Amino acid sequence: MPYYQFTAPAGSATLARKAEIAAAFTKVHCEVTGAPSAYVQCSFTEVAPDSIFVAGEPVSGPRMVGLIRQGRSKDLRAKLLHGLADAWCEITGDSKDDVALFLLEQPGANIMEGGVILPEASEDPGAIA
């Protein structure tokens, strides 16, 4: 279920290393949540430079919005965010100061994947998460 959507300026290290980032995000998500890797989805969108703004000013750093299932603890979400940020920055050379990651939680009942409505998330790393 997790769906990670990256938005990055053309020519950025994020776009140049998409496959590595997708593999790293899959690994981190699975290690932290216990989800099978087949559930992790990543998508990359290239935008023109000066298309991402903060406080009305253009920035060059990429952004990521991740949809995950609702129901995980604050500590688990923090571990996930830190793990994802560390992996992204290690691969791209980006500074954590230049990237932004946003997690949005969705109830399992609001998600259909492969024709199946998903169960709610579990804190148990051994359960399908």
> Which pair of tokens denotes residue 66?
């991740």
> Which pair of tokens denotes residue 67?
């949809």
Residues 6+ apart with CB under 8 A from 72: 33, 80, 105, 121, 123
pLDDT tens for the chain, residues 1 to 129: 899 999 999 999 999 999 999 999 999 999 999 999 999 999 999 999 999 999 999 999 999 999 999 999 999 999 999 999 999 999 999 999 988 999 999 998 999 988 989 888 876 554 454
Second CATH level (architecture) for the domain 3-117: 2-Layer Sandwich (3.30)
Amino acid code (one letter) for 123:
E
**DSSP 8-state secondary structure symbol assigned to residue 61:** S
Pair 4, 41: CB distance under 8 Å = yes
Provide the whole-model pTM: 0.90
